[in-house]
A and B are shown apart, each in its own frame.
Chain A
Amino acid sequence: MRTIVKHDNHTMTTLARPKLRRLADDAGLTIMVCVFAAVLITLVNGKTWELYDQMVYSVCVGLIALAILDGARLALPDDPARRRRWLAPGLVLLVATAPFAHFCGMVVGSLLLGYGIPDLHDYPNDRGQRGMILFALLGIGVMALLILNRERVERIKLERTQATARAETIERQALQVQLRLLQAQIEPHMLFNTLANLQGLIAIDPQQASTMLDHLIQYLRATLSATRAESTTLAQEFAAAEAYLGLMAVRMGPRLAYRCVLPADLRAARLPAMLLQPLVENAIIHGLEPKIEGGTVTVEASARAGLLEICVSDTGLGLDDTLTAAKGTGVGVSTTRERLQALYGPRAALTLIPAQPHGVLARLTLPLETA
C-alpha cells in the first residue's frame, strides 16, 4: 500500500509543473503569436522596412498582455469545478487589457527602439491606432485560446497517465489478493496425512503427539495469518518453516533431517509473507519426499551489501528428475518470481540451481529492510 501512494505522488509532481515554468512556456507561445502578428501587419500595409519595428512592438504588447492575463490566472487557485465561473470576468479583463497592453507596448517598444515616448494625449484619436488596438485584442484573444487549449491537452494527458497508474495499481493489488488466496490453500493431502499421524501417535506416544500438535497449530496459524498480513519478519517466517519441517520430520521419521540458521541481527528483518514457505515445501515435496533415502533440508539467512539472502537447499532428487517426475514444480517458483518482480522489480531474484552432490539450492535475494 505504501509503495503505491509514493508512486502516485511521484506522478503528480512530474506532471503538474510549477507556475513560473508554466508562465515561461506560455511566454514562448506568446512570442510566436506576436511574430506572426507582426508579419501579418507588415504584409497588409506593405511597409517591409518596418518589419523589425513591428516585431518589437508586437512582442512588447504581447508580453505585457501575457503578464497581466496569465499572471492573474496563475495567481488564482486552480479549481476545476470553478473554471466556468471565471469565464466572464476573464473576458472582461481580456478586453480591458487590450488597449492598456497596446499603449504600454508602444511606449516600451519606442523606448527600446530609441524613438522617444509617443504622446498619450492624441493617442485615442488616431484611427489607425484604434484599428491596431482592435488587432491587438484579436491577437491577445488568439494567444489566450492557444494557451488554454494547450493546458487542456496537458490536463487530459495528465489524467490519462494517472488513470493508467491507477489501473496498474489496481491490477497489482488484485494480483496480490489472488496470490494470498493461493497461498492460503493448505494442501488437504498434507493436512490429512498429518492428522492421520496424530491419530496414530495419540495411542503410541502421547508426548510426541502433543509436540506434533503444537507444530501443526503453529504451521496453520502462520499460513492462515499470512492471508491477512502483507509483510512479516524473518523470525516469524523461520518459525513457520521450522513448524512445517518439524511436522514433516515426525511423518518421515529418520528420512528427514533439517537445519535452520537465522543470525540474531536478522530476526527483525521484514519481508513479504509466504515467500520462504513455498521454497521449503518444494524442497520436501519435490526433493525429499519422493526420494527413497530421504535427506537433509537447510534453511539459511544472511545479509550483505544491503541485500537479504535466504538459501533453501536439499539433498533430494534434484531439478532434472523432479521436473520430469512432478510437473507442478514450476508453478510455485514462477508465482514467487512474479511476486518479487511486482514488489521489487530487478532488485530481487529467485534462482534455482543444482546442489552438490545432488539436490536443489534455491536462493532468494531481496532488499534488506530492518525497520
Chain B
Amino acid sequence: MTTTPRPRALIAEDEPILAATLAATLRRLWPELEIGGTAPNGVAAVEQALALRPDILFLDIKMPGQSGLEAAQELAERWDGPRPFPQVVFVTAYDDYAVQAFEQAAVDYVMKPVSDERLARTVERLRARTAPAAAPAGDAALDRLVEQMRALLPAQPGAERLTVIRAAVGNIIRMIPVQDVAYFQALDKYVNVASLDGDALIRLSLKDLLAQLDPDRFRQISRGTIVNLRHVASASRDDAGKLTLHLRNPPDTLRVSPLFAHLFRQM
C-alpha cells in the first residue's frame, strides 16, 4: 500500500473564530487535509504561504495589511521553486461587492457564514484538482488564478488623462511630459517617476495614476509597476519562466508579474 502525501492547506482569515470554524469544518469534510496554519492578515498570508508551500490556500478578502486579492497577486509574483502554485479559494462575507465579481470571473470562493453543503462542493473540486493522478504538467493553478484575476482587475475608467507629470524635486516642481516617462514604480506612499532625465517622486497611488494614463501606452506589469510600452526594447524569459522587460532609455530592467505576462507573448 503506497501512502500518497497528504494535501496541505493554509487559511488566511483575520477573525480568529472564523479561522477556527473554517479549519474545523474542513477537518470534518476532508479528514486527509492537513491544515498547515492560519494567517491573521494579508501580509502574513503571503509570508506563511511562501514558507509553508501549501497545496490549497483559503484567502479572506477583507483583511488588515492587505486584502486577499492583493495577497494573491503578491504571491503570484513571488512564488518560485518546484512546488506548484496553490489552489486559491477566496472567502468573503455575503455583501461583498466581490461576490458579484467572483461569479462573473468564475473564481473559486466560499461565502461567510460558510454552509457545509457549499464547502463540500468546493472540497470536492479541490480534491479532484490536487489528486496526484490529476496533476497536470506546469502550474495549472497559477494559470487559472491568473485568468481569474485578470477578469477581476478593474477596467480602467475613462478618467481625465494626464499629459504632464508634476513632481516636486526640492523646491522646484519638475514638469515631465508623460510620453517621456519610461515607467512608474510604487515606493511605500510615493511613486517614483523614471524618465530620460532621471527620477522624481510623486505622492499618488499607483491605482489612481493608472486611471489617468492612456491604456494604449501605459500598462501595469506588476503590483508596483506601470511601464510605458514605447520605451520597452525587449522581453526575456528565464529558466524558471519569469519574464523580464529591458528598457531603452534609461536602460533598466523590470520584472513582469505572471498576471500580466500575456502582454509580452510572441505574436
Contacts and interface: CB of A to CB of B under 8 A. Distances in A.
Residue from A195, A289, A290 with most neighbouring chain B CB atoms (10 Å): A290
Given A189-B95, A192-B112, A290 B17 contact: no
A197 interface: yes
Nearest to B96: A189
Contacts of A199: 21, 113-114
B24 interface: yes
B119 interface: no
B93 A201 contact: no
A203 B41 contact: no
B94 A289 contact: no
A291 B64 contact: yes
Nearest to A189: B95
A193 interface: yes
Interface string A290-326: 1110100000000000000000000000000000100
Contacts, number: 64
A286 to B, nearest CB: 12
A253 B16 contact: yes
A117 to B, nearest CB: 93
A331 interface: no
Interface residues of A, number: 24
Given A204-B21, A253-B17, A289-B64, A196 B113 contact: yes
Contacts of A250: 17
Contacts of A201: 17
A153 to B, nearest CB: 53
A353 interface: no
Contacts of A204: 17, 20-21, 24
B43 interface: yes
A119 interface: no
A187 interface: yes
Interface string A194-226: 011101110110000000000000000000000
Contacts of B16: 253
**Interface of chain A, helix or strand or loop or mixed?**
helix
Interface string A322-341: 00100000000000000000
B205 A200 contact: no
Given A290-B64, A291-B64, A196 B24 contact: no
B252 interface: no
Contacts of B114: 196, 199
B162 interface: no
Residue from B17, B94, B96, B205 with most neighbouring chain A CB atoms (10 Å): B17
A292 B45 CA distance: 12
Contacts of A195: 113
B15 interface: yes
A251 B24 contact: no
A251 B112 contact: no
Contacts of B24: 200, 203-204
B18 interface: yes
Interface in A224-271: 250-253, 255
B15 A253 contact: yes
Contacts of A252: 14-15
B136 interface: no
B87 to A, nearest CB: 22
A195 B114 CA distance: 10
A196 B18 CA distance: 7
Given A189-B94, A200-B17, A200-B20, 19 more contacts: A188-B95, A192-B93, A192-B112, A192-B113, A193-B93, A197-B18, A199-B114, A201-B17, A204-B17, A204-B20, A204-B21, A250-B17, A251-B18, A252-B15, A253-B16, A291-B64, A292-B43, A294-B64, A324-B205
Interface of B: 14-18, 20-21, 24, 40-41, 43, 62, 64-65, 93-96, 112-114, 189, 205
14 contacts: A188-B93, A189-B62, A192-B95, A193-B15, A196-B21, A196-B93, A197-B17, A199-B21, A204-B20, A253-B15, A289-B64, A292-B41, A292-B65, A324-B189
